[in-house]
Structure 1
Amino acid sequence: MRINGDFHVHTPYCPHGTDDSMESYVRKALEKGLTNLTFTEHAPLPRRFTDPTPDQDSAMRWSDVTDYIEEGKRLKDKYKNEITIRVGFEVDFISDFEQETKAFLDRYGADIDDSILSVHMLKAPNGEYVCIDFSEDEFNRIITLFGSVDTVYKHYYETVKQAIGADLGFYKPMRIGHITLVEKFSKLFQPQQNYDQQIIELLQLVKKNNLSLDINTAGNYKEYCGTSYPRTPLIHAAHDLGIPLVVGSDSHKSDHIGRGFELLPSEITYSLPLAKTLS
């Protein structure tokens, strides 16, 4: 196994992250012998969407977008002879906010190199939006809103399906983020059903839509998860389908660059991000 980059990386522009500079992430990547790095800061949420997290800290501020892109460009130029740096976003797919998301991508897509489309937010049966990965206490409250753990899982995977098929324009991210994020608190809140078949069907849709998959090692370090997103058998399933697998630490501090890469299946070949080209 040769993983030559970390392609899911956050920055000090993340309100729930660190004050570590973007340059410190680059230096850590170089220390670890990586030759590629993608910054994927949480894109600002749609303006008419209210962040449902108790701390209101899910995404970067709209006012920081230009500074973030410019700093990324500065680092790309400064380190161009040492490491390939890509600048992009982790974009939230939020049901009923597709047009706002497309407008954001249309506005900034030409300035970015690589991005991820992720589901963190679900729309509950009562119309309230929730963030599934904020905390165990919040996840417990979400279970109450939905009626059961299984209903949360089903709704999560249905929302991921919507994200895979969504028309978000030319600059739609080419990679689906942490496809099993709903498992973050699985040691505390276990569903009655097994959802592997549903996940396989989602992987088939990823392949059909010519997208790649975020192989995200952060779950290994979550107290109530302990596995990557997705789990190893599902990584093999995605590989067998011929889906490009792009590894990311989902680091929110520079010391976490490349964390957990040694835990991934060593017999699998991992990919660089897919490139979007004008036809």
Structure 2
Amino acid sequence: MQRDAHIHTPFCPHGSADTFVHYCERAIALGIRDISFTEHAPLPKSFIDTTPTQDSGMSYNQMEAYIKEVKRVQKIYANDLRVRVGLELDYIEGFEEETTAFLDNYGQELDDSILSVHFLKLPNNSYVCIDYSKEVYLDTVQQLKSSEQLYSLYYATVLKSITTSLGNWKPNRIGHLSLIHKFQHALPSLPDDRQHLLEVLSAIKSAGMEIDMNSAGLAKSFCREPYPPLAIAQLAQAQGIPLVFGSDAHVANDLHQFAEHFTEFEK
């Protein structure tokens, strides 16, 4: 597998100080030929990050420097490694206009991008970052009265991310589409979300989008599987939906993590 299309950088507020050069050298050492730096885009300016650390995305004043730095290493490694300028963009229900305006401003600078759901809008109109911690996850289950309700809300939001117009520069790949599984083994029992996942696959196929075949869940003690699970990835592949491997690395040593589990999806 010679591509890793979901990589974070020293611009990540909750990542590491590993340099772009460190990532590129690590990629070359692993035999990777094609990488996408997909840093967390700035959140909408009128949205308040609900995480205690408020470090879910870059600040707006970092965007120019980020793009400039990726383009710099792009030139340095042009003979050995394809380096793509990318972002991981949050879909946040209720902030579609600001997200579209952001993409209108920066979309033309990007070679690659991912659209992900981390924040859920709750029935009381507050927001929660559902993958922040096990404690936040379980507290949200209590607020919604059941894990099934949490799963339903998550997948409904993912479906909105797929079907909502975000302008001409909307990302074409849905990030870690089963992220709601991150703390699944902290629950008393696992909800049956197969029908939700099949609906998401159908929407992705209809929209002509790709899936982030994200290995990071295998490193999470309460998840123990990739996003999406392999059985769902196989169904997506059978439907002709492109699956693009991403390690979701936040440190250089996690680049291409668990890639050996995904050779059946390599093209």
Conserved in 1, the CA contact under 8 Å of 2:218 and 2:226?
yes
Residues 21 and 192 of structure 1, relative CA distance in 2, 3 Å threshold: closer
Listed as ranges, the gaps of 5+ residues in structure 2 are none
- List per-residue Cα deviations over 1:2-47 (Å, max 9, x = no partner): x111100001111111011112111110110100000000000000
When normalised by structure 1's length, the TM-score is: 0.94
| 1:100-147 deviation per Cα after TM superposition (whole angstroms, max 9, x unaligned) | 000000000111110000000001111110001001011112112222
The more displaced of 146-155 and 206-215 is 146-155
Asked if the contact 2:243–2:265 (Cα under 8 Å) also holds between the matched residues in 1, the reply is no
Match of 2:85 in 1: 87
Q: In structure 1, what residue type is equivalent to 2:159? A: K
Residue 195 of structure 1 is matched in structure 2 by 193
Q: Deviation string for 1:53-96 (max 9, x for gaps)? A: 11111111111111000000001111100000001100000001
- Please list the CA deviations of residues 160-195 of structure 1 after superposition, one character each: whole Å capped at 9, or x if unmatched: 000000100110001000000000000002556411
CA distance in 1, matches of 2:264, 2:60: 41
Deviation for aligned residue 1:148: 1.6
Q: Trace 1:128-167 onto structure 2 (pairs within 5 A).
A: 128-167=126-165
Match of 2:66 in 1: 68
CA distance in 2, matches of 1:170, 1:190: 43
* 1:177 counterpart residue number: 175
Question: Match for 1:96: what amino acid?
Answer: G
Tell whether the 8 Å contact from 1:10 to 1:17 is kept in structure 2 after alignment: yes
| Deviation, structure 1 residue 202 | 0.8
Query: 1:124 touches 1:130 (CA, 8 Å); kept in 2?
Result: yes
Name the structure 2 match of 1:34.
Answer: 32
Tell me which residue corresponds to 1:268: 265
Q: Which residue does 1:238 correspond to in 2?
A: 236
The 2-side partners of 1:124 and 1:267 are apart by 38
Return 5+ residue gaps in structure 1 as ranges: 271-279
The amino acid across from 1:102 in the alignment is T
Deviation at 1:200, TM superposition (A): 1.1
* Deviating 4+ runs (over 6 angstroms): none
CA contact (8 A) 1:150 1:191 kept: no
1:249 to 244, 247, 255: 247
Determine helix, strand or coil for the equivalent of 1:187: helix
Distance 1:39 1:267 in 2: 24
Residue number in structure 2 paired with 1:221: 219
Identity across the alignment (%): 42
Structure 1: distance between partners of 2:70 and 2:25 = 14
Distance verdict in 2 for CA 1:218–1:153, change over 3 Å: same
Q: TM-score, normalised by structure 2?
A: 0.98
The Cα RMSD (Å) is 1.0
Residue 149 of structure 1 contacts residue 191 of structure 1 at CA under 8 Å; is this kept in 2?
A: no
Is this contact kept in 2: 1:249–1:256, CA < 8 A? yes
Equivalents in 2 of 1:54, 1:23: separation in Å? 31
Q: Is the 8 A contact 1:126 1:145 kept in 2?
A: no
Change (3 A) 1:121 1:190: farther
User: Is the CA contact 1:93–1:119 (under 8 Å) kept in the aligned structure 2?
Assistant: yes
The one-letter code sitting in structure 2 at the alignment partner of 1:39 is F
